[in-house]
Amino acid sequence: MIGFLMNSWVARVIPIGLVLLAIQTTLLVELRPFGVSVQIVLAFAAATGAVGGVERGAVVGFTMGLMYDLAVGTPLGATAVTMALAGYVAGVGRLFRIESHWWILALQSAIGAAVGEAMVPVVRLFIGEAAVSGTGLVTVVVVVAVAAMVCSPVLAPLGRWSLSLQQTEMKLPPEIRSEV
């Protein structure tokens, strides 16, 4: 059991999560471009989804979100579900692409992070917390998405390592694959 855990993605994702959370709660609360806190943990969830696909992205995003909820004190599961969604959305692009160019991964990460961050006020509303003002939400989503895109060249390889994925993983459309 312990051996399995040590060799599984969990053993790599949790330490990465702790380091990213430490950065999130120290450096990134001070560095606020346009008054927005860059979400590095969310960016990692999205980048992992971009390199790992839908399921892995959602599961890693969920794990990172749970850690985030535990660290920040937000209701347990609230951030987890938004980060799972970010990983899922970022992973959708992997179903269609052939090669994993860095800029495609960056774009997927940005879209995933944007969707994840935009879902935060929606989830808060669902769990009965007061509605977050829509003012500034666009700025928040754009800045978080751009930051995820910029961080993607670093976070995508990290996500690939955490999931033990090969760097070049060709993916062919089903009709061509059946011919091969």
Interface with another protein (CB under 8 A): 18-19, 21-31, 35-37, 39, 54-55, 58-59, 62, 66-67, 70-81, 84, 88, 92, 95, 117, 120-121, 124, 127-133, 135-136, 140, 144
102 or 128: whose CB is closer to another protein? 128
Buried b (16+ CB within 10 A) or exposed e, 94-111: beeeeebeeebbbbbbbb
| DSSP class per residue in 54-77 | HHHHHHHHHHHHHHHHHHH-PPTT
Shortest distance (Å) from residue 7 CB to another protein: 21
79 or 100: whose CB is closer to another protein? 79
39 or 109: whose CB is closer to another protein? 39
Angle formed at CA 8 by CA 103 and CA 57, multiple of 5 degrees:
35
53 or 159: whose CB is closer to another protein? 53
Using CA atoms, how far apart are residues 54 and 72, in angstroms rounded to an integer? 26
79 or 102: whose CB is closer to another protein? 79
Shortest distance (Å) from residue 81 CB to another protein: 4
Shortest distance (Å) from residue 131 CB to another protein: 7
With contact defined as beta carbons under 8 Å apart, do 36 and 139 qualify?
yes
With contact defined as beta carbons under 8 Å apart, do 110 and 143 qualify?
no
Shortest distance (Å) from residue 127 CB to another protein: 6
Shortest distance (Å) from residue 140 CB to another protein: 5
Instruction: Specify the DSSP element, H or E, that contains 167.
Output: none
